[in-house]
Amino acid sequence: MSDDLLFESALSLRERVVSKQISASELTGLFLDRIAKTDATYRAFLLVDRDSALAQARAIDGAIVRGDDVGPLAGVPVAIKDQIVTRGLRTTCASRMLEGFVPPYDATVVDRLRRAGAIIIGKTNQDEFAMGSSTENSAYGPTRNPWDPNRVPGGSSGGSAVAVALRQVPLALGTDTGGSIRQPASLCGVVGLKPTYGRVSRFGAVAFASSLDQIGPFANTVPDTAAIMNVIAGHDPNDSTCVPAAVPDYLSGLDGGIAGIKVGVPREYFVPGMTAGVESAIQAGIDRLRAAGAELVEISLPHTDYCVATYYIIATAEASSNLARYDGVRYGYRAKEPKDLYDMYSRSRDEGFGSEVKRRIMLGTYVLSSGYYDAYYRKAQQVRTLIRQDFDAAFQKVDVIACPVSPVTAFKLGEMVEDPLQMYLMDILTISCNLAGLPGISVPCGFSDNLPVGLQLLAKPLGETVLLRTARAHEMAYPDSARRAG
């Protein structure tokens, strides 16, 4: 069986399985072997569930023999970020606080993947509780970039991005609170989609910042991204923030072209400090959209300069509230032999959380405290409204916005660990999408010093159809789309 199968699209692999060119068991074994050969170096996975994956694959093979409907992702291995709960499969959020936690239920997205015939192959590494931009904050060690193992893959969903880039799996899920899907997708050279807030159920995603968190997919092609969105999108009564709107067929019309589409280019997104190589790659990507028939329109998003401060007030405040539940009492890590109740609380949280999580809890607790709530949290929510209004005005003029994902390519491991403020500024081009609840996607658009660069496309809420069609038009015109990592 040829390793070339590893580099086929998820849709192609599914067709091979259902047409009996290859069994789901053989295909799953091929990807499991790929993980075994590569993951000691790159550490994309925290857990690989080999026995269960092969059992799932055998069940798919049996269903095909019987002539049963096996679903749109039949036999396709999928990796799940460790932020998303999986029944019977350890879920730690890459934290000592949840070490050994085995959920009794599946997240809605995982349940939908299983029903679609996908093979859940394992859990991927991440920044602890999704707090970080480099996947260096994991309690279980960093993940490494697939193009240069001395560099970061981005974060917080770095493990999922690396798993897809290395062809350890065709598809993976991540979460995006301030760029945690799009940024690692850019730095690893894959496609990463952050859906509209509420388009995909968050039920079963361990909360970081509840008004910002969103689950979304990684893939190597835009059609594969559309295919998994067809499965995971849609209303869920278990998530009160999930939008009760019908889900279109994202694959339908994907290759329809973008003639007449208006693409906005925001002047504020070409920031000081952006490297020349990144700017050149982004400009080449925008030029491809124009060559494909899009009309370019210069736009302004005037409150962009306030996005980082606004985000790091709102996100840390919500994190402080959400992580208060980890107290050593009900579940999670508990300090050994505490002297009294206070000692148990303080030591459990001190020993269970890593330094970045502690930093954000303290920041969030401060901005929510008496005397500071109005000065910080309330003001940040007001500015968030202004940011959303900037996008509302822009989308009166354009259909899609095109801009960079990150001002730089993947930086070296350890380079920013001691400078959290500089690390936070890496999110400057991605966080406004979350603050405004928009869908956003990163698609490969070039290289700088042999490291990948991603083009970010944004659309108005529930605008995934035009977003994916525009991304597909760029993908079709991109000459290096077959270039491989690892």
User: Tens digits of per-residue pLDDT, 149-188?
Assistant: 999 999 999 999 999 999 999 999 999 999 999 999 999 9
Judged against a pLDDT cut of 90, whether residue 132 lies above it is answered with yes
Residue 245: exposure state from Cβ atoms within 10 A (0-12, 13-18, ≥19) = middle
Confidence of residue 324 (pLDDT cuts 50, 70, 90): very high
Place of tokens 């789309």: 481
CATH number at residue 213: 3.90.1300.10
Domain count, the chain: 1
Is 442 designated active site?
no
Tally of CA atoms within 13 A in the half-sphere of 317 that contains its CB: 20
Place of tokens 């079709």: 476
Judged against a pLDDT cut of 70, whether residue 268 lies above it is answered with yes
User: What's the Cα-to-Cα distance from 2 to each of 55, 65, 117, 483, rounded to whole Å?
Assistant: 22, 24, 23, 19
Residue 473, domain member (yes or no):
no
Domain that holds residue 146: 3-257
pLDDT on residue 272: 85
Residue 282, domain member (yes or no):
no
Residue 44, domain member (yes or no):
yes
Asked if 269 and 429 touch (Cβ cutoff 8 Å), the reply is yes
Please give the Cα distance from 220 to 205 (Å, whole number): 23
Judged against a pLDDT cut of 70, whether residue 1 lies above it is answered with no
Structure tokens at 53: 């994956």
Confidence of residue 9 (pLDDT cuts 50, 70, 90): very high
DSSP letter at 89 equals B
Residue 323, domain member (yes or no):
no
Please give the Cα distance from 360 to 373 (Å, whole number): 16
Query: 3-class DSSP state for residue 414?
Result: coil
Residue 369, domain member (yes or no):
no
Q: Residue 181: CB partners within 8 Å, gap ≥ 6?
A: 157, 160, 161, 174, 175, 192, 193, 194, 216, 217, 218, 442
Mean pLDDT for the stretch of residues 221-248:
97
Please give the Cα distance from 31 to 28 (Å, whole number): 5
Query: 3-class DSSP state for residue 77?
Result: strand
Structure tokens at 177: 């609170």
Confidence of residue 310 (pLDDT cuts 50, 70, 90): very high
Residue 133, domain member (yes or no):
yes
Asked if 16 and 27 touch (Cβ cutoff 8 Å), the reply is yes
Tell me which of 25, 180, 320, 442 is the catalytic residue. Answer: 180
Q: Residue 325: CB partners within 8 Å, gap ≥ 6?
A: none
Residue 296, domain member (yes or no):
no
Judged against a pLDDT cut of 70, whether residue 17 lies above it is answered with yes
Query: 3-class DSSP state for residue 86?
Result: strand
Tell me which of 95, 133, 134, 156 is the catalytic residue. Answer: 156
Say whether pTM exceeds 0.95.
yes
Query: 3-class DSSP state for residue 265?
Result: strand
Is 156 designated active site?
yes
Residue 19, domain member (yes or no):
yes
User: Which one, of 247, 209, 241, lies nearest residue 226 by Cα?
Assistant: 247
Is 406 designated active site?
no
